[in-house]
Amino acid sequence: MILNIALIGKSNVGKSSLFNLLTNSKSALTSDLPSTTRDRQYGFLKIKEKKINIIDTAGINNIKRKFFNLIEKQAYKQTILAIQEFHLIFFLVDARYELTIVDYFILKLIRKENKNIFLLINKIDLMKRENSFIDFYNLGIKNIFKISVIHKIGYLNLLKNIYNFLKKREKKIFLENNKINKYINIKICFLGKTNAGKSTLINSLLNSNRVITSSTKNTTRDMIEISLINKKIKYIFTDTAGINKKRKKKDFLNYIFEKKSFDVVKKNQIAIIVIDSYVGISSKDLSIITFLINQNVAFFIIFNKWDLISKERKKKIKQENKYRLKFIRNIKIIYLSAIKKTNLKKIFLQIKIIYNESKKIFSTSSLIKIINKATKKHSLPMGVTGKIIKLKYAHLGRKNPIFIIIHGTQVQYISQTYKKYLIRFLQKELKIPNTPIKLFFKNKKNPYT
């Protein structure tokens, strides 16, 4: 798991200089003038092949937010975001001066988010006062480092402690995961029309008759949850009631079963649509697919009863299916026979692929780079007002499903076509072709123009 470090502190305490030293770059502007850094800077630190995200933030110099100007408001919001998003905070102070009310205000913000803190007392080479470290030690911060960024005093010791922190964090996460979950749990639900063979397919996967199967419609009247453990993975299968093509208004019982089938999707990580190969794709199957797409659910499609199709017809049916499903992309299609138990391994393989994609970690900096790459490849059109649409930065809102928030200007004028292009581009660059992504665009005025 990638470690994220944010550099926080007042202006002119050496954050940008430290950022440049850690990332081995000169991308952050440095100056003796306060508030030189007005936006967040992203970079990477490598220690023993370990990649660490570093962010440089604008300095905070005022605690009275109601009197903030536009730049100060932006700097404050950026700092809060950095504190919330990152795992380790480097709180920088200037060794030459006593702590101020602003320093205590910044420390309060960090502690409010319950973050790990390294206190970095910078510019010790310029100190003239004796016993001036007492105030810093009275802050009650365990990890304190006396450094000089310009002369690299204490730098190697800082790197050593960063690496030790990273290793301890990795070990803690590993132990917690093993303690909480003896097995990896993956929840999968099966959806489809009645008599498509969902129950038979689950029985074949379990290699036992755990589900009642029948050729009579609506045999499965309620949700049936069954588990299978294989190679430290616990597959939790949910068999749902069959969904009818047409339903009479008075058939209230079937309505309840169909509603439960859709509700159960929200409780599962992956959905599998089972279609009868002999019958083909129906309007109800297309409705189910549309529902899953709109709900941002990871899914794939199984065409069952493939053994009933002659060799002459198989090629034609695949072409027809490809044409009817051309509106979806990157969705895996598996042809099999549940009753003959053919191609069942492909189901487990696809489940693992989707699950592994869902566990990937995406840093804010990597998302920003991908968005910039996407807009360079295909430029954003002009807004209806004639103003240029700009995408400034992006970050992960949540996972399962993946929800990415993109900040910019004039974003309300981005077309649906361009949004779909961004989603496909992100899926490709993040290497998660099977995982749905939902984008949320947030309009943000640029205070620097």
164 is in an annotated binding site: no
Residue with tokens 């959905």, as numbered in its chain? 271
Q: Is 178 annotated as a binding residue?
A: no
> The tokens 């397919």 sit on which residue?
201
- Is there a binding annotation on residue 305? yes
Tell whether 376 is in a known binding site.
no
Specify whether the CB–CB gap between 423 and 375 falls below 8 A: no
397 is an annotated ligand-binding site residue: no
122 is in an annotated binding site: yes
Q: How do strand 437-443 and strand 402-409 relate by DSSP bridges?
A: parallel
Q: Does 307 show up as a binding residue in the annotation? A: yes
415 is in an annotated binding site: no
| Strand order across the 333-335 sheet | 224-230, 233-239, 184-192, 270-276, 298-304, 333-335
CA gap 250, 246 in Å, rounded: 12
Q: Is 346 annotated as a binding residue?
A: no
**55 assigned to a ligand binding site:** no
Was 9 annotated as part of a binding site? yes
CA atoms within 13 A of residue 362's CA, in its CB half-sphere: 27
218: left (phi over 0), alpha (psi -120 to 50) or beta: left
State yes or no: 14 annotated in a binding site: yes
- CA torsion 295→393→89→107, rounded to 10°? -100
Q: Is 373 annotated as a binding residue?
A: no
Is position 239 annotated in a ligand binding site? Answer: yes
Instruction: Mark residue 289 as left, alpha or beta (left: phi above 0; alpha: psi -120 to 50; beta: remaining).
Output: alpha
Token pair of 329, please? Answer: 């992309």
Q: Any known ligand binding at 143?
A: no
154 marked as binding residue:
no
Does the annotation place 13 within a ligand binding site? yes
**Is 25 annotated in some ligand binding site?**
no
With tokens 């379990």, the residue in question is: 206
**C-alpha to C-alpha distances, 274 to 180, 191, 199, 202, 236, nearest whole angstrom:** 33, 6, 10, 11, 17
The answer to the question of whether 32 is labelled as a binding residue is: no
Whether residue 57 contacts residue 8, with contact meaning beta carbons closer than 8 Å, is answered with yes
Was 10 annotated as part of a binding site?
yes
Write the CA distances from 205 to 198, 324, 341, 348, 380, integer angstroms.
11, 28, 8, 9, 47
248 annotated binding-site participant: no
57 is in an annotated binding site: yes
Please check if 140 is assigned to a binding site: no
16 is in an annotated binding site: yes
Q: Does the annotation list 195 as a binding residue?
A: yes
- Residues of the binding site: 9-16, 56-60, 122-125, 192-199, 239-243, 304-307
- Residues of the binding site for GTP: 9-16, 56-60, 122-125, 192-199, 239-243, 304-307
